Structure 1
Amino acid sequence: MKKFALIGCGKIAGKHAESMTRVGKLAAVCDVVKEKRDAFAENYGANAYDSIENLLQHETEVDVVAVCTPNGLHAEHTIKSLQARKHVLCEKPLCLTVAAAWQIIETEKFCRRKLFVVKSTRYNPLLKALKKAIQENSLGKIYSFHVSCLWNRPDSYYADWRGTLFPDGGTLYTQFSHYIDALLWLLGDVAEVKGFKMNAAHAGSIEFEDTGVAAMHLQNGAMGSLHWSVNSYRKNHEIALTIVAEKGTIRL
């Protein structure tokens, strides 16, 4: 039976714990907040730790570590887990800097362990069908695209670490990284990008933008745009992708 450890016992951790118990055992949990780690430990019959160092030192039989801590701690916790010879499932985003990403990749190679990043949008049935159509050239040449990410996040949402440059990182890390990943997964890498951003409605509660636009030129020749905002009136408005191609136009 596979044994799992959970680093960080916040909101998303519950979904990870439920999945772990379907395929193995949640053996250990870690959180700096005693009430959170104790609650998970009691619910799942796991050992509780106040630091990742203590957990990795004592839980030698754990096979996979799930990193569910705040964004800015993902790199540190992922690297420490890999160095302890554990496979790692890291919540999005993987990290906040390119340098940290390369360090994680090199650590994974050196330690000969597997790193998985949560990119669940790739498993959306419609996106999988679109990916297949693009791979089979059913749409012909891709001309252009637009991604619209319009959500609502009131000031009350930004408590604790949310809203800070570190460890939150910003709107594109916390809210919309799934959809940037989906775009690149479908259409390939970016050759050139230019953008604008501003803090229109959260000047007193966050340290980064709440609205932005970016124009992109992809390596496959397609051009397009991304518009993101957490200022949608009262509720989330949409996550939408439009692709204009030689043999069709698609909007999801």
Structure 2
Amino acid sequence: MKKFALMGVAGFVAPRHIQAIKETNNELVAAFDPNDSVGIIDSYFPKTHFFTEFERFDRHLEKLRLEKEEPVDFVSICTPNYLHDAHIRFALRNNADAICEKPLVLNPWNAEKLMVMEQQSSNKINTILQLRLHPSIVALKEKIANQSNEKIHDIDLTYITSRGNWYYASWKGSLEKSGGICSNIGIHFFDMLIWIFGDVVKNTVHLMEHDRASGVLQLKNANIRWFLSINEQVLPESAKKNGKRTFREITIDSEKFEFSDGFTDLHTLSYKNILSGNGFNVSETLKSLELAYNLRHTKPEALTGDFHPMAKLPITNHPFFK
């Protein structure tokens, strides 16, 4: 049984990590979050020591390591994106392996420096790239790998996940803290596509707003028109009629790629792989981190030539930005 500490336990994705720790028969001994709405811990680990102040959390882990000789083996990081770098370093300084949510960091050079720190440590940095473990996506990668390397696939990626007004008042609505839409909700898809279809050859940005982004991405074996949004107003009518606030669709050579199911156990599977020494390391995140960074720093071009059709939708500024 391994001992875990979890940072950002009040966050949206933290319950998946708590469940993964439980389902892999390990123990959550300490947790930290400035927000104290963490009652979900009781359903899994009611004896977990919880802290709302980082300094006391830090002291507790140090006492476990130095005084009780019961150090934590892993620190799971579900904190805001801009803090991942510092919290990964914190894990390594506590002689623990890090398990960090996406995006690992916001800037490629931060990842490169973490790789240097990891080499000087006896511990590992793992990142969650759960789409690489999805059965349908694994099958797609195998299918593409068995085809001619010269074939260029035409792909449309559309991902809309509606967010309410709270989003813009939180760290997620801050470009400096979240990295914007490309880092916050697009990073998994960019990683998946690069993993399957090869390295980035060229990217064109047509739209980069607070609530949506779009462009054309050329990979070694694919041309991809992509559209990301958190604005419910751009949901297709079919989704609105069914009361859905999320729309996710990928078409490959005009055929819909279905991967709607199979998401429920991916964090647990991620943890199983990490515990067996097969987690995804820092170097495997670099290409998607570089892409997301370049996208948010690229000046949008006019809608000419090929572009995602939803990039033409009218933009209404959110009241928060007026």
Query: Under a length normalisation based on structure 1, what TM-score does the superposition of the two structures give?
Result: 0.83
Q: Which runs of 4+ in 1 moved over 4 A?
A: none
Q: CA deviation at 1:198?
A: 4.0
Change (3 A) 1:221 1:227: same
- Judged with a 3 Å threshold, the aligned counterparts in structure 2 of structure 1 residues 236 and 109 are, in CA distance, closer, same or farther, namely farther
Residues 1-48 of structure 1 show CA distances to partners (whole Å, capped at 9, x for unaligned) of 111110111232222112212321111111223x24687479531122
C-alpha offsets along residues 33-86 of structure 1, whole Å, 9 cap, x if unaligned? Answer: 3x2468747953112232153244223211011001111111110112123221
SS of the equivalent of 1:96 reads coil
- Name the SS of the counterpart of 1:158 in structure 2: helix
1:160 and 1:27, CA in 2 relative to 1: closer, same or farther beyond 3 A? same
Deviation at 1:154, TM superposition (A): 2.7
CA RMSD of the aligned region, Å?
2.5
Q: 1:44 to 1:166 in 2, by over 3 A?
A: farther
Cross-structure match for 2:308? none
Aligned equivalents of 1:24, 1:5: Cα separation in 2: 11
Is residue 153 from structure 1 mapped to residue 159 from structure 2 by the alignment?
no
- 1:3 is matched with which residue? 3
Matched ranges for 1:76-115 at <5 A: 76-115=86-125
1:26 alignment counterpart: 28
Measure the CA separation in 2 of the matches of 1:38 and 1:231.
30
CA distance in 1, matches of 2:7, 2:130: 19
Q: Write out aligned runs for 1:1-252 (5 A).
A: 1-10=1-10, 11-22=12-23, 23-33=25-35, 35-36=36-37, 40=41, 43-49=45-51, 50-51=53-54, 53-60=58-65, 61-137=71-147, 141-199=151-209, 209-218=210-219, 220-233=220-233, 235-244=244-253, 249=255, 251-252=257-258
One-letter amino acid matched to 1:216? L
Instruction: Compare 81-90 and 160-169 and name the one that shifted more.
Output: 160-169
Contact 2:151 2:221 in 1 (8 A): no
CA distance 1:7–1:237, shift in 2 (3 Å): closer
Higher percent of residues as strand: 1
Q: CA 1:27–1:97 in structure 2 vs 1: closer, same or farther (change >3 Å)?
A: same
Query: Which runs of no fewer than 5 residues in structure 1 stay unpaired?
Result: 200-208
| 2:312 alignment counterpart | none
Q: Are the structure 2 counterparts of residues 109 and 221 from structure 1 closer, same or farther at C-alpha, using a change threshold of 3 Å? A: same
Provide the C-alpha distance between the structure 1 equivalents of 2:232 and 2:208, rounded to a whole number of angstroms: 15
Work out whether residues 160 and 232 of structure 2, in 8 Å CA contact, stay in contact via their aligned partners in 1: yes
Describe the SS at the equivalent of 2:177. Answer: coil
The secondary structure found in structure 2 opposite 1:166 is helix
Mean Cα displacement is larger for which, 23-32 or 48-57?
Answer: 48-57
Percent identity of equivalent pairs: 28
Aligned residue-pair number: 238
Task: Determine helix, strand or coil for the equivalent of 2:248.
Answer: strand
| CA 88–197 in structure 1, closer or farther in 2 if over 3 Å, else same | same
* Deviation sequence 1:159-210 (CA, Å, 0-9, x none): 33221123222112222222111111111221221203243xxxxxxxxx21
Q: Equivalents in 2 of 1:26, 1:92: separation in Å?
A: 21
Higher mean displacement: 233-242 or 169-178: 233-242
Q: Which residue of 2 aligns with 1:203?
A: none
Higher helix share: 2
Name structure 2 gaps, 5 residues minimum.
Answer: 66-70, 234-239, 259-322
Give the secondary structure class of the aligned counterpart of 1:59: helix
